[in-house]
Amino acid sequence: MTEEPAVRAEDPYLWLEDVGGDEALAWVREHNARTTAAFGASEGFETLRGRVKAALDSDARIPFVRRRGEFLYNYWQDAANPRGLWRRTTLESYRTEAPEWHVLLDVDALGAAEGENWVWKGAAVLRPDHRRALVELSRGGADAVVVREFDLETREFVPDGFALPEAKGAVGWLDADRIYVGTDFGPDSLTSSGYPRVVKEWRRGTPLEEAATVYAGKSDDVWIRAYHDSTEGFERSFVRRGVTFYTGESFYRAPGGELVRVDVPDDATIDAHREWLLVTLRTAWTVGGTTHPAGALLVTGFDDFLAGGRDLTPLFTPDAHTSLSGHVWTRNHLVISTLHDVRTRMEVLTPGPDGWTRAPLAGVREFETADVVGTDPHRSDEYMVASGGFTEPTELRLGHVGGEVEVLKRAPAFFDAEGMTVAQHFATSDDGTRVPYFVVTPPGAEGGPTLLYAYGGFEVSLTPAYNTVAGLGWLSRGGTYVVANLRGGGEYGPQWHQSALRENRPRVYEDCAAVARDLVARGITTPDRLGIRGGSNGGLLVGVMLTRYPELFGAVVCQVPLLDMKRYHLLLAGASWMAEYGDPDEPGDWAFLEEYSPYQNVRAERPYPPALFTTSTRDDRVHPGHARKMVARLQELGHDVTYHENIEGGHGGAADSEQSAFMWALAYTFLWNHLTK
C-alpha cells in the first residue's frame, strides 16, 4: 500500500487497512488469540456457544421457502451441512412434519471437491420452465461472487454454460439464451464504489467480450443494473442507473433496444406489474396538477404513463404516525404493509372498474409483526406471511386472497419467555422529537443489566421480531432487551430518514442518547448496567456513543463498523454512502463529519466504558480497517478494548453456524460480564 507521507503522518495506523498484509494479519491473529483465551475460559461461554449453535442448527427451525413454479425452494444450513443445501419440495410435502426434500446443490460437498470455502449467495431461476439457474457463490462470504449456470433437472453445472469470475456484480435471465450481466469487464468498467458501471446483454455461446453494451453509466455513479420481467403478455426489460444511494434514473428498454426514461422523480422507485406502474415517493411530487407527499404510493397504467398520461391514483398517503413499509403483488392484487407507530398493518388492494378497493389481509392478527415472505405473482393469488414478536416464535401461514388461511409451520420457543413483558415507550430527543423504543423485560429484571440495540440509518426500520440469539444470550439470563427506532431509519417514512442525513446526522446520536437517559429515568436500568450493540451503520452509532456519550453506558459492542469517516469513501463500497453521510473531501462536509467521526474523536483523558470490536477479514463492503484502526488507537491511549476478527463471513461477520455461535457468545459474554460486575 502506498500513501502520501502527509496521510501516513496523520494516520499512523494506515497499515492496518492492508486487508491481507502479513503485518496486519499478524496483528489480527495476536488479538484473536488474546480474546479467545480471555473469553473462551469465561464462565458460561461454552454453554452459551453450544446453546446458540444448537438453535441455529435445529431441525425444528422453519425452512422458509420461495415458490418457483410447482416447487418450493429452500436454502438450509445445519450441523451436518454448515455451508448449506439448496433444495426443493412440493407444497403437499411441505405441509407435512417431515417434508421430502430433493437436494439440488450441496455447497459443502462442492467446496470440498473444489478446494474452495464456498458460501451460498443465491440463485436466479429462469421462467417459465424453471430448469436453469444462475447460481452465485462467494469465497468466505464476501459480497463478490462467482456465477455459474446450473441445470435443476440434472443437478449439475452446465458445461460451457454462462459463467463469470469473482466480482461484485448482478446477473439475470432475459431468456434461455440471453442474460443481463454487470461485472468487472476490465479497466474503467466499475464505479468508484466498486460496482458495475456497464451492463451488457450476453448471448449463449459467444465470448463475454462480445456481449452487447446495453447501458454505460459514469464512474462516480453507484451502480448500473438491468433486469427483465418475464410475465407472460407483459414481458419488459428495465435499466436502473444509481446516481447516488437514493437517486437515479429508470429506463424501459423497448423491444428494439432503445431506452425510454420513466419520467418520475430521481429519488422515486418504480415497480411495473402487468398493466400497472407503481411509484413510491421519497420527496413530494407535483404532477398533473396534484402534489403528492413524500412517502406516498401511486399507481397508474404503465403504457399510458409512458405515452405521456399523468393520471395517478394514490394508494397510500402517510400521516404523522403511519408510513409505508412495503408492498408485493399477487397475480391480481396488491398487498401493502404499513407501520403505525412501528406496529404492522396489512391490506389487500384490488383494481376494478370503479377503482381500487381495499380490505384487511386475512391471516394477520392485531399487534403482531408480520411480513409477506412469498407470493406467486405470475400464476396465482397465493401469499405466505411470517409473523411473530419479541416473545412469540415465528409462525408461517399460507393464504389465497379471498380464500382460507392455513398455518404451514410453527417455530419452537428457543428460550423461555414465560412472564416476560413487552412495552413501548417514547423518549424526547434534544430537539423535542419523540423517539419510540421497545423494552422486553424478564421477570424481576427491573434495574438490572440492559442491552440497547439500534441502527438509525439507510431508511431501515426495526420492528418487533423473535430473536433467538438475543433470547438465549440475554433475555433468558435475566437481562432486559431494548430496540430503539432512531431517526435515520424508516419507521415513519422517508422524512424520518431524511431528517438525519449528512449535516443532520447528529440527530441519530442525540436520539440514542435520549433513549439511554429515558431508560435510566424510568428506573429500567442504570448507566453502569446499560450496554449497547450495533453493526455496520449501527457500528458507527456505537462508535459515536462510545466517544461522545461514554457516561451513558457500562459496555459497548461494535460489529463490522464504519468508524473512520475521513477515509470511509475511499475504502471498498464506501463511496456509495456519501448521500447518507457526506463527502469528506468537501471541506464543508468534513466540518460536520469531523465533529462525530469516532476514529478522530478518541481522547486519552476521557474515560470510556469497556468496548468489544468485531469484524471480518472477508468483509468487502465495510472495510475491516475501520475496526482495526479504532482498536489500535484506543489501545495506544490506554483504554479498555477487546478485538476479534473472523477470517471469513463477509459483512455478516460469520460464514456458518459454528462461526456465528462463537461471535454471538463472545458478544453476549462480554456484555454480561461487564454489566453484572
CA separation for the pair 540, 630 (Å, rounded)? 11
- C-alpha span between 644 and 630 (Å, rounded): 13
Identify the bridge partners of residue 224 per DSSP, sorted by sequence position: 241
The half-sphere exposure of 616 on its side-chain side, counting CA atoms within 13 A, is 25
How many angstroms separate the CA atoms of 335 and 326, rounded?
8
If you ran DSSP here, which 8-state letter would residue 152 be given?
Answer: T
Annotated catalytic residue: which of 651, 657, 660, 674? 651
Collapsing DSSP to helix, strand or coil, 450 comes out as: strand
CA dihedral (480, 486, 492, 494) in degrees, to 10, reads: -150
CA distances from 221 to 126, 142, 251 (A): 29, 22, 16
Distance CA 65, CA 163 (A): 26
Q: Is 327 annotated in the active site?
A: no
Q: Are 204 and 177 in contact (CB under 8 A)?
A: yes
What stretch of H or E contains 634?
helix 625-636
Neighbour count for residue 71 (Cβ, 10 Å): 21
The residue annotated as part of the active site, out of 387, 461, 536, 576, is 536
**Phi and psi angles of residue 213, each rounded to the nearest 5 degrees, phi first:** -70, 130
Q: Is 340 a catalytic residue?
A: no
Write the DSSP symbol of residue 421. Answer: E
Q: How far apart are CA 338 and CA 280, in angstroms?
A: 13
Contact 532, 676 (CB under 8 A): no
- Between CA 182 and CA 199 the distance in angstroms is 5
Between helix 625-636 and helix 537-548 the angle, nearest 10°, is: 10
Active-site residue set: 536, 651
